Amino acid sequence: MEQFHIVLKDFANWKMENIDVLEKFKHNRILLYDRFEPVYEVLNTIYEKAVEQEELSEDLQTIFQVGLTYLHTQFEVIRIYYEKLFNSDCHLFEDYTPLVTYLLFISDFRSDLEEFEETIDFSDLNDVESQIENMIAERDNRFDYAADILNKAISDIESQLDHEYVSIIDIFVEIADNLNVDLSTNKAFTVGKDIF
């Protein structure tokens, strides 16, 4: 448990560093907040349990560590776009959150399928990722076009898989349900539905 106290402190520090942005996203109903809410709220719930009671199950510790790593990595990307490219302008950022969400989805999808890197052709997905990055930089708001090319690239990869892909967000929605964590959104972020 001693080692896990460090992870709990990391979450408390992460939260202090990011709470202003998180609250601004929540207040302005930014799409990205809905995406991260299951992970964030599960972490808050487990953190509170750890503070109230000394011992957490190994499963809860693992969930917490995975969730914190995921949230930290993904939110770092969001802050770069939000602060650097959109100068912390919440309304302007909100206009382009569909494209940022697509990039985060691509990152999730690719990292979840790392074990298949040698057997799956990711070249179309790489091209789509570059196109979407350029669209954000150029303030191109053809969201339907971006969703279409992303859906096609995902479908092509899924056709090469012999199992159903389940995103980490979907897993945390299920964990939230099992822990009786109330979410403001109950959307599932599955492939093909995540991008709309």
* Model pLDDT for residues 88-108, shown as the tens digit of each residue: 999 999 999 999 999 999 998
**Which of the four pLDDT bands, split at 50, 70 and 90, describes residue 189?**
very low
pLDDT the model gives residue 195: 47
pLDDT the model gives residue 93: 93
**Which of the four pLDDT bands, split at 50, 70 and 90, describes residue 185?**
low
pLDDT the model gives residue 103: 94
What is the chain's mean pLDDT, rounded? 88
CA angle, 192 then 102 then 178, to 5°: 65
The answer on pLDDT for 193 being more than 50 is: no
Cβ-in-10-Å burial (0-12, 13-18, 19+) of 151 comes to middle
* Model pLDDT for residues 117-174, shown as the tens digit of each residue: 788 888 999 999 999 999 999 999 999 999 999 999 998 888 887 767 788 999 999 9
Phi then psi dihedrals of residue 141, to 5 deg: -105, 35
Look-up: residue for tokens 């303030």?
Answer: 139
pTM of the complete model: 0.84
The answer on pLDDT for 113 being more than 90 is: no
